[in-house]
Amino acid sequence: MAPTADTGRDEREVGRVTSVSSYRLTVLLDPRIRSQVRAYPQRLGVVTQIGGYLLFPVAPGDLAVGIIVGASEDESIEPDAERGMTLQLGLARRILRLNLLGQLFEDRSFVPGVSIYPTLDTPALLPTEDELKRILEFRPQEPEKDEDTALPVGVSPIYLRQEVTVSYNDLLSRPLGIIGNTGSGKSYSVASFLQGACRLEGAKASQAKFIILDINGEYGKASRSLSSAEPIEETSKDLNRVYINGSPFFLPLWTFNLTELIAFFEASQASQVPVLERVITSLREEAVDPEPVRDLRRLIHVVDQCLECLGSLSAYAAEQQGTAVADNASEVLSYLLQHASGLEELANKRVHLPEKIKQIKAEGEAIYSAGLKTVDEYRRMRSSKDWTNFNRMEPNVSKAVRKFIEDLEPKFHRLRQDVMTKGGLREVTADSPVKFDVRGLEQDALFHIAISRFRGQERIQEYVATLRLRIHRQLSDKRWSVFIQGSEDFETIIGRVCGSDDARVVVIDCSMMAYDALPFFCAVLGRFVLDLRAHGKAGERTVQPFVLVLEEAHNYLRPRREDESAGVQLSREAFERIAKEGRKFGLSLIIASQRPSDVSATVLSQCANFLVHRIQNPDDIDYFKKILPTGSRDLLDQLPILAPGDGLLIGSAVNVPARVQIKKPNPAPSSATPKPWQAWQKDKQKFGLKESISSWLQDHGDGSS
């Protein structure tokens, strides 16, 4: 717009820059502007509204963009027009404070960051309609026009008719945080983003894949048209159950890896974990081994035990000066020779045993002849005052032990490989996703067999007794039924979690789960999905990306604490790994929570974008200020008074930080606030007190239906 003839000022000009400091500006408003809006041809411009934008010419065709973060007014005495010294009435000085955001160029889209600063006395201009569109609407750069598009998310409550759009790719390829108090519009925003991403006009996102951890059972209705299954009514849901798109779903313990099973059963690292690992491995092996080859699997176990003994002997033989190790070495050697007898017996039945391995006993006895005493001799010597010297491993003994190990270790490895190949055995560990009968964990015989493989069996029996009690208790507790029941195989479970080809949104309804079971479920599910993506072909890991939606994330994604439960720790670690590594595997997160201070800082720090609704807790606002860029922190002061559905959109997916009124989803999630006045009328439905008590007692009963 051209300057006016009488003043030489641009019709859009509202003031002049009076202060420049880093990313901050101060603008002194024109004294003639007394309203928060300024009229000029074909438009009303917002002048003093917090969150509004002003432009500053810094070079030909180059405008710096600032956002208003504060306004103030003070009184001053000024001379008259003739510069006389007569006193005038006090005139108000109206000041705007702004943060610089980026630059607008005539031939390019909005560019974040400022390369040329406004100087003192630079005019402050209201944006034209076209300039406002370029500020608030994302436009892909020329090389990316076919790869990205603008996703409408709502309208600006300041510039009422102006749409706010974001980068589709940027919003959904990296973690997005949606934060706000209850009733502020979080669920509406999540549903609106999902519906918008799947129904975008002029685009076909027919292969979109959103997996929602629905903690409150809100999204069945909102995703009805985007899923392949109709949601069931809430009244037909059972306690301690999970539903995927309306159908019951189970995540049995055999889908857990060893770390998750250790946490679930609270196994102690010292003695219970090795036994539990043996039991889990045995159950998985039994599930994959046909009956004719089970003797070969037992042979593999004996070989592995012999290799473990050789490893211990190697450590003792290498210990500096060999002090206080001879009795331990003697005990391990004795244990190895016992296994050698069993190894020879099993191997002669099923597979040819190399002749040199048959010399194990003779070579072991030779070490005793070199100077190592027997276990019984060392036991008799324990009362000696000079025990250290008696327990020293002499150099000649150490040399004999090392030669013994060097000779046998490669032979054991060859034998193991030969048995695995000829028997067609599958390499199975406690982490292998092999289905087994969960009730097999109640078989005490499995624990006796596992314990028999360790030295000091009597002491281990005592330590493992408490673990076995916990296992029996957990398997009989109905709160954990989602981990105990279910007959689906691994492929079917994964398929249900990821949904059918035409289900763009998979709603995993966890609203009926027990509070302490929820973190375990979320942890295993998150790890499952990441492992699935990570096992894709190297060149296809980012094909058809998945987005995990974590509703009410503060329930299972809390910061590290000393008194935290094992389930919460597992869940946090699983999603922290996704937040940090998921992008390279085509997996992203949407984190929705009421309390940012109750969500892992590691996860929030990985969020490239935030939609922040009303937050009233000062601690939460301060916490949020710490993780946002410096230039965006001033905007958070308006959080306590944001209207429901309004939020601050901040991040790399949007050109500038913007207040946005989120598009109302259709259909909306089932997250309405109760209406006591209406609900407490005489003819309204009463709470089912007796039914609830009955269900509660049954849930914590003896396990009978």
pLDDT in tens, 84-116: 555 444 566 889 999 999 999 887 778 888 889
Q: Which residue has the tokens 């695995």?
A: 420
Strands (E), 553-630: 587-593, 609-612
- Per-residue pLDDT for 249 more than 80? yes
| pLDDT tens-digit readout, 452-500 | 766 555 567 778 889 999 999 999 988 899 999 999 999 999 999 988 7
pTM of the model: 0.82
At 479 the three-state DSSP class reads: helix
Q: Which residues contact 436 (CB under 8 A, 6 or more apart)?
A: 254, 283, 284, 286, 287
| pLDDT tens-digit readout, 73-86 | 876 555 555 655 55
Strand-pair partners of 75? 92
DSSP 8-state assignment for residue 487 = -
Q: Which residues contact 130 (CB under 8 A, 6 or more apart)?
A: none
Length of the chain: 705
H or E stretch covering 529? helix 518-534
Q: Which residue has the tokens 């296994």?
A: 339
At 222 the three-state DSSP class reads: coil
| pLDDT tens-digit readout, 398-422 | 888 888 888 888 888 888 888 888 7
Residue 552 CA to chain centroid, in angstroms? 13
Confidence bin at 354 (pLDDT 50/70/90)? low
Integer-rounded Cα Rg, in Å, for the chain is 35
Give the count of alpha carbons within 13 A of 429, CB side only. Answer: 6
CATH topology of domain 165-250+488-673: Rossmann fold (3.40.50)
Calpha distance 555→514 (Å, rounded): 12
- The tokens for 545 are 């990306």
Q: Which residues contact 319 (CB under 8 A, 6 or more apart)?
A: 325, 393
Lowest mean pLDDT across 209-218, 364-373, 438-447, 646-655: 364-373
Residue 240 contacts residue 478 (beta carbons within 8 Å): yes
Q: For residue 567, what pLDDT is reported?
A: 93
* Among 104, 112, 4, residue whose Cα is nearest residue 56: 104
Q: In what order do the strands lie in the sheet with 587-593?
A: 163-167, 150-155, 658-662, 646-651, 609-612, 176-179, 587-593, 546-550, 210-214, 505-509, 242-244, 247-249
Q: What is the average per-residue pLDDT within 554-569?
A: 91
Strand-pair partners of 590? 176, 549
Residue 66 contacts residue 54 (beta carbons within 8 Å): yes
- Among the ranges 6-15, 350-359, 607-616, 678-687, which has the highest mean pLDDT value? 607-616
- The tokens for 486 are 């279910």
Q: For residue 4, what pLDDT is reported?
A: 45
Backbone angles phi, psi at 336, to 5 degrees: -65, -40
- Per-residue pLDDT for 202 more than 70? no
Calpha distance 591→549 (Å, rounded): 6
Residue 550 CA to chain centroid, in angstroms? 8
Higher pLDDT, 242 or 306: 242
What's the mean per-residue pLDDT of the chain? 83
| pLDDT tens-digit readout, 645-656 | 899 999 999 999
* Among 177, 203, 174, residue whose Cα is nearest residue 189: 177
Q: For residue 703, what pLDDT is reported?
A: 42
Q: Which residues contact 138 (CB under 8 A, 6 or more apart)?
A: 150, 151, 165, 166, 167, 653, 654, 655
* CA angle, 254 then 255 then 258, to 5°: 75
- Per-residue pLDDT for 506 more than 70? yes
Assign residue 224 a region: left if phi > 0, alpha if psi is -120 to 50, beta otherwise? alpha
Q: For residue 6, what pLDDT is reported?
A: 43
Higher pLDDT, 566 or 302: 566
Lowest mean pLDDT across 623-637, 653-667, 669-683: 669-683
Q: How distant, in Å, are the alpha carbons of 4, 272, 462, 465, 704 from that of 468?
A: 88, 9, 10, 5, 22
- The tokens for 645 are 């559905």
Give the Cβ contact number of residue 704 at 10 Å.
6
Give the Cβ contact number of residue 171 at 10 Å.
26
Higher pLDDT, 672 or 292: 292
Q: Which residues contact 25 (CB under 8 A, 6 or more apart)?
A: 17, 19, 56, 66, 97, 98, 99, 100, 118
Confidence bin at 292 (pLDDT 50/70/90)? confident
Q: For residue 661, what pLDDT is reported?
A: 92
| pLDDT tens-digit readout, 621-634 | 888 777 777 767 78
Q: For residue 674, what pLDDT is reported?
A: 67
| pLDDT tens-digit readout, 252-282 | 999 999 999 999 999 987 789 989 998 999 9
| pLDDT tens-digit readout, 605-622 | 999 999 999 998 888 888
Q: For residue 1, what pLDDT is reported?
A: 44
* CA angle, 221 then 223 then 228, to 5°: 110
Percentage of the chain modeled with pLDDT above 90: 35
At 268 the three-state DSSP class reads: coil
- Per-residue pLDDT for 516 more than 80? yes
Q: For residue 638, what pLDDT is reported?
A: 84
Q: What is the average per-residue pLDDT within 56-83?
A: 79
| pLDDT tens-digit readout, 562-575 | 889 999 999 999 99
Q: Which residue has the tokens 């190697």?
A: 314
H or E stretch covering 172? helix 168-173
Higher pLDDT, 688 or 434: 434
In terms of Cβ atoms closer than 10 Å to its own Cβ (0-12, 13-18, 19+), residue 699 is: middle
* CA angle, 672 then 673 then 676, to 5°: 130
Residue 650 contacts residue 657 (beta carbons within 8 Å): yes
In terms of Cβ atoms closer than 10 Å to its own Cβ (0-12, 13-18, 19+), residue 239 is: middle
Residue 586 CA to chain centroid, in angstroms? 14
- The tokens for 352 are 């040819």
The residue type at 274:
P
Calpha distance 420→414 (Å, rounded): 10
- Give start-end residues of each CATH 3.40.50.300 domain in the chain: 165-250+488-673
Q: For residue 331, what pLDDT is reported?
A: 82
Strand-pair partners of 45? 38
